[in-house]
Structure 1
Amino acid sequence: MSLSARRSLPLLMLACGLLLALVCLASLLWGAGDVGPAQALAVLAGGGTDEARFVVGELRGARTLVGLVVGMALGCAGALMQTLARNPLAEPGLLGVSAGSSFAVTLALLSGASAATLAVHVAQAGALGGCLLVLSAARLQGVGNDPIRLVLAGATLSGLLLALTSLLLMFDQRTADEIRFWITGSVAGRDLDYLLRILPSLLLALVLTLLIVRPLAALALGERVARGLGHKPGRIRLLAVIVVALLVGSATAVAGPIVFVGLVVPFIARALAGPDIRRTLWLCLPLGPTIVIGADTLSRLIAAPTELPLGVLTALIGAPVLLAVVRGRRLTTL
Structure 2
Amino acid sequence: MTTLERRSTANTLADEGHSSISRSPHAARSGSWRVVAILAIALLGCGLLSLMIGNVAINPVRTLQVLFDPDSSQAAAIIHQLRLPRTVLLLAVGLALGISGALMQGQSRNPLADPGLLGVSEGASLAVVLAIFWLHIDSPAAYAWFALLGAGVTAWLVFAISAIRGGPSPLTLVLAGAAVSALASAVITSVVTANVSTLDQYRFWVVGSASGRGIEVFWQVAPFLVLGLVLTVVCTPAINLLQLGDDAARALGVRPGLHKLLGVCAVMLLTGGAVAACGPIGFLGLVAPHVARFWCGPDYRWVVPYSGLIGAIVLSLADILGRVMAGGAEVQVGIVMALVGGPAFVLLVRRTRLVQL
TM-score (norm 2): 0.79
CA distance in 1 between partners of 2:283 and 2:116 (Å): 6
Closer, same or farther in 2 for the Cα pair 1:14/1:27, shift >3 Å? same
| Mean Cα deviation higher: 226-235 or 289-298 | 226-235
Aligned to 2:7: none
**Cα RMSD (Å) of the superposition?**
3.3
Is residue 75–residue 285 contact of structure 1 (8 Å, CA) maintained in 2? Answer: yes
Equivalent of residue 308 in structure 1, options 315, 328, 331: 331
CA distance in 2 between partners of 1:17 and 1:231 (Å): 32
Q: Which amino acid aligns with 1:85?
A: S
CA distance in 2 between partners of 1:139 and 1:323 (Å): 36
Deviations 1:228-264 (A, max 9, x none): 2322111111111111111111011110000001011
Aligned to 2:57: 36
CA distance in 2 between partners of 1:243 and 1:173 (Å): 35
| Mean Cα deviation higher: 257-266 or 280-289 | 280-289
Aligned to 1:23: 46
Deviations 1:10-52 (A, max 9, x none): 11112212222222121111114xx3233x6314224776111
1:48-197 to 2 correspondences below 5 Å: 50-93=73-116, 96-112=119-135, 113-118=137-142, 120=144, 122-128=146-152, 130-131=154-155, 158=181, 160-197=183-220
SS of 1:179's equivalent? Answer: helix
Is residue 229–residue 270 contact of structure 2 (8 Å, CA) maintained in 1? Answer: no
Q: Which amino acid aligns with 1:37?
A: I
| Mean Cα deviation higher: 110-119 or 307-316 | 110-119
| Mean Cα deviation higher: 56-65 or 254-263 | 56-65
Displacement after TM superposition at 1:296 (Å): 0.3
Displacement after TM superposition at 1:90 (Å): 0.2
Q: Which amino acid aligns with 2:91?
A: L
| Mean Cα deviation higher: 42-51 or 99-108 | 42-51
Equivalent of residue 250 in structure 1, options 273, 297, 310: 273
Deviations 1:138-182 (A, max 9, x none): 999xx957xxxx6x9967765553342122123333332222211
Q: Which amino acid aligns with 1:126?
A: G
Equivalent of residue 207 in structure 1, options 191, 205, 230: 230
Q: Identity percentage over the alignment?
A: 37
Displacement after TM superposition at 1:75 (Å): 0.5
| Mean Cα deviation higher: 244-253 or 308-317 | 308-317
Asked which structure has the greater CA Rg, the reply is: 2
SS of 1:111's equivalent? Answer: helix
Q: Which amino acid aligns with 1:42?
A: R
Is residue 90–residue 210 contact of structure 2 (8 Å, CA) maintained in 1? Answer: yes
Equivalent of residue 243 in structure 2, options 210, 220, 223: 220
Closer, same or farther in 2 for the Cα pair 1:217/1:121, shift >3 Å? farther
CA distance in 2 between partners of 1:207 and 1:14 (Å): 21
Please say if 1:239 is aligned against 2:262: yes
Displacement after TM superposition at 1:187 (Å): 0.8
Deviations 1:111-136 (A, max 9, x none): 31444343645323433455567776
Please say if 1:276 is aligned against 2:299: yes
Is residue 72–residue 286 contact of structure 1 (8 Å, CA) maintained in 2? Answer: yes
TM-score (norm 1): 0.84
| Mean Cα deviation higher: 152-161 or 275-284 | 152-161
CA distance in 1 between partners of 2:218 and 2:85 (Å): 9
Closer, same or farther in 2 for the Cα pair 1:329/1:300, shift >3 Å? closer
**Unmatched runs of 5 consecutive residues or more in structure 1:** none
Is residue 58–residue 75 contact of structure 2 (8 Å, CA) maintained in 1? Answer: no
Closer, same or farther in 2 for the Cα pair 1:25/1:216, shift >3 Å? same
Displacement after TM superposition at 1:109 (Å): 2.3
CA distance in 2 between partners of 1:129 and 1:88 (Å): 25
Displacement after TM superposition at 1:68 (Å): 0.8
Displacement after TM superposition at 1:95 (Å): 6.1
Q: Which amino acid aligns with 1:276?
A: D
SS of 1:37's equivalent? Answer: coil
Closer, same or farther in 2 for the Cα pair 1:277/1:121, shift >3 Å? farther
Displacement after TM superposition at 1:330 (Å): 4.8
CA distance in 2 between partners of 1:73 and 1:5 (Å): 24
Closer, same or farther in 2 for the Cα pair 1:103/1:288, shift >3 Å? same
Length, aligned pairs only: 324
